[in-house]
């Protein structure tokens, strides 16, 4: 069975991925090491309504997953 799940953190309207820094540190202390903080540009309504980027910025030292998670 796998360890802890991957975690994706998404900021609100006036925030940015950097606002998750303290949360990421705490999650890391608790053993979560596959943490991604998504950076949404919030540049315009059209940009906000477009599909999300396929590659979130990551604080993980591991590469992003390339396949769905499954128990092995």
Q: What is the pLDDT of residues 19-58, one digit of tens each?
A: 899 999 999 999 999 999 988 777 777 776 777 666 555 5
For residues 72 and 50, give the distance between their C-alpha atoms in angstroms, rounded to a whole number: 35
Query: Is residue 57 included in any domain, yes or no?
Result: yes
Query: Is residue 68 included in any domain, yes or no?
Result: no
Query: Is residue 11 included in any domain, yes or no?
Result: yes
Query: Is residue 72 included in any domain, yes or no?
Result: no
Q: Are 60 and 33 in contact, with CB atoms under 8 Å apart? A: yes
DSSP H or E segment with residue 25: helix 21-29
Query: Is residue 44 included in any domain, yes or no?
Result: yes
Please state the pTM of the whole predicted model. 0.55
How many domains would you assign to the chain?
1
Query: Is residue 71 included in any domain, yes or no?
Result: no
């Amino acid at each position: 069975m796998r360890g802890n799940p991957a975690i994706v953190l998404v900021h609100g309207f006036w925030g940015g991925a950097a606002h998750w820094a303290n949360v990421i540190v705490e999650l890391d202390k608790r053993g979560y090491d596959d943490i991604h903080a998504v950076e949404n540009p919030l540049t315009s309504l059209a940009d906000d309504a477009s599909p999300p980027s396929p590659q979130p910025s990551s604080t993980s030292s591991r590469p992003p997953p390339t396949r769905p998670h499954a128990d092995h």
